[in-house]
Amino acid sequence: QRSAQTAVEDSERIFTELIRSIESSRSARIRLIRDQENTAVSRAEEQLERLEQEINDLWRRDAELEQLSHTQDHIQFLQSFQSLSVPPESTDVNDDLFSSLFSSDALRESVHQLRDKLEDFCKEELKKISDRVTFTNIVPRTRKDFLQYSHQLTLDLNTVNKRLRLSENNRVITNTGRDQPYPDHPDRFDQWSQVLCRESVCGRCYWEIEWSGDEVDISVSYKSISRKGRGNECLFGSNYQSWSLCCSSSSYSFIHNNIETDLPVKSISSRIGVFVDHSAGILSFYSVSDTMSLIHTVQTTFTQPLCRGFLVYSGSSVKLC
């Protein structure tokens, strides 16, 4: 929680700085527009004054020419007309005065391009951040948190070993020690009293079971695990394709790739919860009662989808919750 709060505070600070930078750029852009506007207005006023002066000069010349037209002195007429006949210098009225200083279309296009580039940059950088951030450490804490990842389990009837009897709508698995009349199937475990569930685990999943009797193994396995024979390649936990929590009345252990680790736990509830985060490579087992107590967790890399599985020894049962 502390690290998450720190990340939130850092994000707030960085985005606040980014917003301030954008606001500063906006203010600078507005000042530029106003400065250009004032420059354009000032130049227009200067041009207007020159035009008014030219108009006054033209009116004065017109009056002088009118007066000269009535003179009887031909010499004065020629002298005065020579000076009055030279046209005054005309102000060049530039129609592009405002557009050269202040083009709203060009400005609008520039701002739009800036916005698009900023949005693209933010999306790209946020994606990079999201790709770097992993939420694998944010593991659920309460049973309510875990249950949001729970799904209904369905046994794959084609995998059930013949010594396992199913009851209560295929929700209870019991090892009776006597063969059941299941037909032969290439997916069926023919030697070990094991069964797989139909659903695959690809993301985050949580499930609970209740066990009773002498010993059961609660497992996850790749679907490619071997089914025929009594070799380790078929037995949950005894190969690289499967992981098992071994529960007995006297001890608990974890086994993977035929390496067994005794677990220093004393009292464990008969209800066991299993949590898998496939992409993060997390597999955790919990004792479920009024609270969630961690039994064992492993961090690994899952290279294939997982299937839930159970190994039920003689005289023992597993109930899917």
C-alpha separations of 2 from 23, 269, 294 in Å: 31, 32, 22
**Confidence band (pLDDT; 50, 70, 90) for 97?**
low
Query: At 35, is the secondary structure helix, strand, or coil?
Result: helix
**Confidence band (pLDDT; 50, 70, 90) for 236?**
very high
State yes or no: pLDDT of 134 exceeds 60.
Answer: no
Residue 92 CA to residue 246 CA, distance in Å, equals 98
Quote the pLDDT of residue 83.
67
What pTM was estimated for this model as a whole?
Answer: 0.60
State yes or no: pLDDT of 87 exceeds 80.
Answer: no
β pairing state of 282-288 and 259-263 = unpaired
Residue 31 CA to residue 301 CA, distance in Å, equals 57
C-beta atoms surrounding 310 within 10 Å: 25
Residue 5 CA to residue 143 CA, distance in Å, equals 23
Token digits of residue 227:
């089914």
State yes or no: pLDDT of 125 exceeds 50.
Answer: yes
Quote the pLDDT of residue 265.
81
Residue 321 CA to residue 207 CA, distance in Å, equals 8
Averaged pLDDT score across all residues of the chain: 86
Contact between 214 and 315 (Cβ < 8 Å): yes
Quote the pLDDT of residue 7.
72
Measured in degrees and rounded to the nearest 5, phi and psi for residue 101 equal: -100, -35
Q: Which of 232, 233, 223 is nearest to 187 (CA)?
A: 223
Contact between 305 and 278 (Cβ < 8 Å): yes
Quote the pLDDT of residue 136.
44
Token digits of residue 24:
């500063």
pLDDT digits (tens, 9 = 90+) for 17-31: 888 888 888 888 888
Quote the pLDDT of residue 129.
64
Q: Give the up-direction half-sphere exposure of residue 185: CA atoms within 13 A in the CB hemisphere.
A: 14
Residue with tokens 């139909």: 198
Residue 184 CA to residue 129 CA, distance in Å, equals 52
Token digits of residue 204:
């985050």
Amino acid at 276: V
Query: At 1, is the secondary structure helix, strand, or coil?
Result: coil
Residue 137 CA to residue 148 CA, distance in Å, equals 17
Token digits of residue 110:
């520039």
Token digits of residue 162:
């013949």
pLDDT digits (tens, 9 = 90+) for 267-297: 788 999 999 999 999 999 999 998 889 999 9
Residue with tokens 């005054």: 88
Residue 160 CA to residue 9 CA, distance in Å, equals 53
Q: Would residue 257 be called left, alpha or beta, if left means φ above 0 and alpha means ψ between -120 and 50 degrees?
A: left
Q: How large is the average pLDDT for residues 140-152?
A: 92
Distance between terminal CA atoms of the chain?
Answer: 31
Measured in degrees and rounded to the nearest 5, phi and psi for residue 16 equal: -65, -45
Residue 176 CA to residue 60 CA, distance in Å, equals 127
Quote the pLDDT of residue 128.
64
Quote the pLDDT of residue 259.
98
